[in-house]
Chain A
């Protein structure tokens, strides 16, 4: 039997064998409240919040169902309530999650959880996203019956460099302990003392120190574990949630960007079974402060006759860009496009190269040690996209030396850079100074922007929509969470403007159209629209996954010299 039928709160549910009742109830749209249960961790069964009433059809000695007067099977309920997280579905099972008995049990558990819990919600960082608060609304009492002294425990305990523990708020659900042992593979958390005095603890000198520690803050259902990075900076209810993808490496963990006004406050993982489960690494999670950096480029900059960069209006900056690119022998132009750029931007860069007839193109590799789990060795989020679009050389980065030499020997005179500080990729500042034209799109000043004739301020991934293709050929989308600073524009937008200025025919007028053009040229992306990419992304068709990089097509007749 590949499925099991059961009844949950009078609804018929079909589940796969082995499904527990918390998950099975979700199939019926029923929430079974819980604290310790987490779908990706072993079952601990300690919070007792998910108690439900479980019955099975009664059977006669011959194995047939005993039926009542109406002909329905009679149900024999287990004398004790069962925890949904540790009870698996069975054929014919009948589950009640809202009976008076169940509600009373939940109210009892809720009261027990709160008696020794400090009711310090006004100053608790978890307030607003606290499961105790949420279920207290459903199952809590109006007033406390507890008039005794609460148990006091250590507060503000350091659990390694990133996490702070308040033991009085801890409800001992053991999610963090299980996560560190089962997922982060550092057996470092444990419980000391016992009974109501039990405390979460780590051994001095063996604090959590993995690249995944902050996940325990996410999964802590209460305010016991807080992130040193985020705590006390903003109330969660003021934050806007935007679906995004981590740009930290080629894994492309699905994330939520939490922002208020123009500031990003934190990143958290978003569930995706095929990518990051429910987790993300701390390296990726803490990589957001650059978005709020006050040094962000806010206006286009043009190099003046006195060799100083001065702010300029967009039309002037684009005009200067066009003048630097147009009418040139394409062999004297080189393009470096970042594999951090979105697929759409790399697509537009591809069109720019084709328009100009430029064939010297490359991306910059970013490699560091991977961990075999979520942190990829490839620290570019879209190298697959840069390869597919023909921007990255094969192997990626292999033509950067050639470009540097071509600048040195004077054969390349204009360099167009999208989102890279090429001075750190083999094209030194000294070399950049020798160029007749250096056009740089970036978001923060660096040695390359400093040497540029034209600086066009782009935006971070959190300020625009786009897609990345991760290392497992999954096309994933991210959306704009915050407004860009100053006059900065999404790169796709300014590239569209540039192409239009270069009189490229059929330039899209908005993002949706751009995306449709992209998928029209690359049907292997497997979607017809940006919306279709969905919240979980799509895997590229096998052909695309298997195919090597597409080389740039030869410029069409008369096209290699933009007129």
Chain B
């Protein structure tokens, strides 16, 4: 038996393969895996071999992807694949109860399929909708703000063939402290902004202006703006662009990193789903600046609707000469293609993303060489975050100087912050950088904690960033202030913990995430992350030993700074910070005799 695709699928696949250089067909591997799995229900031997054959690669090259990317499976995942998010914010919001309810109702364990083949239950790492925690996906549909009852009702609806997915939680009215530029005039119905609507508020004017400027002038303007990358590392964008090797004679690639997956982070979700043209305009201007004629938007696998939305937007933009050949009659060409990820956090790391875009396991590369010299397909490449690119049009339109006046020195412009965890009003917001303190964010904007609770700590930039204690609430929210406080602004994902949070359980949840997401390439991260998880698991089960506390710190230190990519630090920092800052709790959990009692 060999896999036989439908005619429509075959045509789609041929088109997708054409989006990559002819000698780099393998790059289409993730796409083909998604599509073939969509049609066949699994990626078994015959599907793997068929895909390998389409891409002229040995079967092992496809086989090794199936078990790397959590969204792929060699076995059938039922008619409805229930993916319950288990990362920190959903955990704090009680996702465990959702899983328990599903297990009971369906009579299956996690990882199993019901006898009738209808439901398969999985726990997934962060689905990037932490403000609507707990969340789950059913196949490609996304559901937020779930409770056991509503989820069980959903099961019945699914059986009856009638369910109502919700892509995004509703956007609240702007808080007076907010300054909405990226989120300005966002349609309240959570629908994507149309080209007409975008144009009506001045969309694509910046592109027109930029195309009248030289690339160097565009880069200069962005440098002047002081814009720093919004993905996590905060590297100055204009400087990153200026590193591109334009003399290599090779094509330059621009990649939009839309693989937002750091737990607690869900800012790019709204931009990808609702601001497609803002992103495309930012992408087109940036491509002009760096000399790229091909751009890829790497969209995380858990955002299938964003792919559809962006596909439509690209078609519209092409039809209106805003993308494609001879943009706005200027003679400039830019093709924008979508690349769909498949559920691996490591793809957020730019060289891991590049490997994944090339159709491989997302093993981060050794640097140097940096992507600006040798990136995608060994060509000079720039990788920019979604939010970063969305800032570009306004910088060009209103000038770098104008932008640099927003915010504070070193942290210009606005920043999207997403708040989740134990606050009354979680969600995503946009503020002028440094314009408010952490205290104001939590207690004014987000309504504070539930009655009777006290604050335990705040993770300020996605779970990889060291936690801040209640006595650090008065720091301003900008890159440098957060760094001075001993943490980093990271991805803008703020997770609030109250006194009801079990520190060991929270630490275990975070450690489990990084152990699950470690690609396995380099020793310290591969072995150290799982070791930390196992130790924490044991402590959580009540079998901690006094020596486990220094052991955890030592493991974290042995990972930190020793790995190929920053996932090592991302895994080590939170554990080290949590164990250090709540050491008494850990010591109590690991008190002498504890292990014997349990």
Interface residues of A (CB under 8 A from B): 43, 45-49, 51, 79-81, 83, 86, 104-105, 108-109, 111-113, 115-116, 145-149, 151, 171-172, 187-198, 201-206
Contacts and interface: CB of A to CB of B under 8 A. Distances in A.
A204 B60 CA distance: 9
Contact of A201 (B57, B60, B561, B564): B60
Given A47-B523, A148-B531, A203 B60 contact: yes
Contacts of B520: 172, 191, 193-198
A15 to B, nearest CB: 19
Interface stretch (B239-247, B448-456, B511-519): B511-519
Contacts of B58: 187-188, 203, 206
A88 to B, nearest CB: 10
Contact of A192 (B63, B522, B531, B557): B63
A43 B564 CA distance: 12
Contacts of B528: 112
List the 6 shortest-distance A-B pairs measured between CB atoms, nearest first: A108-B558, A198-B520, A112-B527, A190-B64, A148-B534, A203-B60
Nearest to A43: B366
Contacts of B564: 45-46, 48
Contact of B68 (A115, A151, A171, A194): A194
Main secondary structure of the interface of B (DSSP, over half): helix
Contacts of B563: 48
Main secondary structure of the interface of A (DSSP, over half): loop
A238 B551 CA distance: 40
Contacts of B576: none
A203 B65 CA distance: 12
B527 A115 contact: yes
A83 B568 CA distance: 15
A48 B63 contact: no
Contact of A194 (B519, B557, B561): B519
Given A148-B535, A188-B58, A191-B68, 5 more contacts: A48-B523, A81-B562, A189-B60, A194-B67, A195-B515
B524 interface: yes
Contacts of A195: 515-520, 526, 529-530
A108 B63 contact: no
Contacts of A115: 527, 531
Nearest to A111: B558
A46 B531 CA distance: 18
B535 A109 contact: no
Contacts of A187: 57-58, 60-61
B562 A113 contact: no
Contacts of B45: 204
18 contacts: A112-B524, A112-B526, A116-B527, A146-B531, A187-B57, A188-B58, A190-B61, A190-B63, A190-B64, A191-B520, A192-B66, A194-B519, A195-B515, A195-B530, A202-B60, A203-B59, A203-B60, A204-B45
A191 B64 contact: yes
A48 B518 contact: no
Contact of A83 (B68, B344, B366): B366
A460 to B, nearest CB: 40
Nearest to B74: A192
A172 B526 contact: yes
Contacts of B559: 108
A206 B59 contact: yes
B223 interface: no
Interface string B496-525: 000000000000000000011111111110
A307 B243 CA distance: 88
A201 B62 CA distance: 12
B538 interface: yes
B361 interface: yes
A45 B522 contact: yes
B522 A193 contact: no
Contacts of A148: 531, 534-535, 538
A335 to B, nearest CB: 52
Contacts of B547: 145
B515 A47 contact: no
Interface string B313-347: 00000000000000000000000000000001000
B529 A196 contact: yes
